[in-house]
Structure 1
Amino acid sequence: MKTAFLLLFFSLIPACSFGPGNLQSKHSSDLDTRKIKRLAVLGPAAMVKSQSKIPFTAASPADARVAERDPAELLSKLVYSAMASFSNWQIVSENEVREVGETVPDSNETARLKTIGELVYADAVVVSRIQRFRERVGAEWGIKSPASVAFVLDLVDVKRGDIVWSARFDETQQSPAENILVLGDIGQRGVKWLSAEQLAESGVRKAVAQLHQIITR
């Protein structure tokens, strides 16, 4: 009986993992001709103050420590890190964006984004919005409930004030037993259940890489 249980346990380990994510995006037909090279990533502090805050649901004491971080702020930092990894982009520092944002009075969101972008001499600004941020219940090798994350990224042309690229990532992590298509991300994620932060980072890197490919092609 014990041998049979162990065989069953080890046979299930590879099935407790990853997921391809669900990334959908659209962009203006002339995005690759707009010469966007200097970008600013706007954190939640730079946004209009009336926006609602998405709560972080902690499932354990360990998760509670992570919950002290605002998911919106975390998403913004993930976007900044992903964009800064491309050497042919000039990314305005987080401190500069924060300091400039504090001097710009609240108005309608479009006008505020445009003003901040102009003051930091950015060609475009990136705005991120968390829609869902639910932590896994369990550990990376065994869970009761998987992490679930959804967010939207928008790229706004500072000169024209229009959104030229928008992407939405929405994933609740699944095992290959639930969805065979998740096998595609083994190389990037490994064979484990991700935390909500890791799942968000996976989606951000995928979205930013896609944007970079469009702009630089």
Structure 2
Amino acid sequence: MGRLVRLIRSASLLSLLLLVGCPYMNPPVVKQRTVSSAGGSTRVIAVMPFATRPGLVAVGSDAGMTADEVAELLANFMAEALAANGARVISPSDLATAFLSEQRPVARRDPPAAAELAASRFGATSVVMGEVLRWRERKGEAYGTNRPASVAYEMTLYQAPVPRRLWSARFDHTQRTLLADPLTARKYPGGGTRFLTAAELARWALGQSAASLMEGQWRAAQ
């Protein structure tokens, strides 16, 4: 009888953890960390054109996208997501134009140069810099595929004009099915009922990143 009671209690606890989404059993898909905060850091956020991992190939892209085009797409997704979260955003294209107008290379991997120009030319209080690490399109259709979409990126938020690191994020994920991982799959657009394109997976993850960035800076400043 005692063993039966223990089993029932264990099953009840497991069910409760599944319902509330215990972070140990259901870790976040996008790993994010607020390092520090600065007053007004999210007042004007510049999003630099993203870099790409050396040798990155956009695998299986039906649209024939190059690695640079993928990086441009993700940077624009992040800018849109930040704007949707209430930030005033300086777009990647505006920053690229500003660098080129000064006959300087676009500072995709140079936080001091990016932060200084974003602050001096646009009044930015912080700058987002990112790198695309993997881009693999799904093979198949929304309701049937033998190779789900897979995307990986890293991002960092720096204060401007002095590039102190404020926040970072990493996403490294291949879409999972409801059968294999229901706790993760239910978080996707559509609740895991369909296979996402790489762009859909990236846009969803970047939306999570933008919300975390804004909330993390707000909480750290309190």
Show the counterpart of 2:63.
Answer: 65
Asked whether the 8 Å contact 1:150–1:171 carries over to 2, the reply is yes
TM-fit CA distance, 1:21: 6.5
> Alignment partner of 2:211: what SS?
helix
TM-fit CA distance, 1:96: 2.6
Instruction: Tell me whether 94-103 or 115-124 shows the greater mean CA deviation.
Output: 94-103
Asked whether the 8 Å contact 1:96–1:120 carries over to 2, the reply is no
Cα distance in 2 for partners of 1:169, 1:93 equals 22
Cα distance in 2 for partners of 1:123, 1:104 equals 24
Distance 1:180 1:189, change over 3 A: closer
Over the aligned positions, Cα root-mean-square deviation in angstroms equals 2.6
Counting only pairs closer than 5 Å after superposition, residues 55-204 of structure 1 correspond to structure 2 as: 55-58=57-60, 63-65=61-63, 67=65, 70-87=69-86, 89-102=87-100, 103=102, 105-106=104-105, 109-118=110-119, 119-185=121-187, 189=191, 191-204=193-206
Asked whether the 8 Å contact 2:131–2:155 carries over to 1, the reply is yes
1:174-210: per-residue Cα shift (whole Å, max 9, x none)? 1122113224315655510000000001110011111
Amino acid at match of 1:23: V
Asked whether the 8 Å contact 1:57–1:67 carries over to 2, the reply is no
Show the counterpart of 2:39.
Answer: 34
Cα distance in 2 for partners of 1:117, 1:110 equals 10
Q: Structure 2: which 5+ runs fail to align?
A: 1-25
Asked whether the 8 Å contact 1:155–1:166 carries over to 2, the reply is yes
What is the number of residues matched between the two proteins? Answer: 188
TM-score (norm 2): 0.75
TM-fit CA distance, 1:77: 0.8
Asked whether the 8 Å contact 1:147–1:173 carries over to 2, the reply is yes
Cα distance in 2 for partners of 1:129, 1:42 equals 10
Cα distance in 1 for partners of 2:44, 2:158 equals 12
Structure 1: 4+ residue segments shifted above 6 A = none
> Alignment partner of 2:187: what SS?
helix
TM-fit CA distance, 1:98: 2.2
Cα distance in 1 for partners of 2:95, 2:154 equals 20
Cα distance in 2 for partners of 1:38, 1:81 equals 13
> Alignment partner of 1:52: what SS?
coil
Q: Structure 1: which 5+ runs fail to align?
A: 1-18
TM-fit CA distance, 1:91: 1.0
Q: Which has the higher contact order (CA 8 A, sep 6+)?
A: 1
Q: Percent identity?
A: 23
TM-score (norm 1): 0.76
Cα distance in 2 for partners of 1:189, 1:170 equals 19
Cα distance in 1 for partners of 2:75, 2:191 equals 21
Show the counterpart of 1:7.
Answer: none
> Alignment partner of 1:191: what SS?
coil
- Work out which of the residue numbers 7, 25, 32 in structure 2 matches 1:25: 32
> Alignment partner of 2:166: what SS?
strand
Amino acid at match of 1:41: V
Asked whether the 8 Å contact 2:32–2:212 carries over to 1, the reply is no
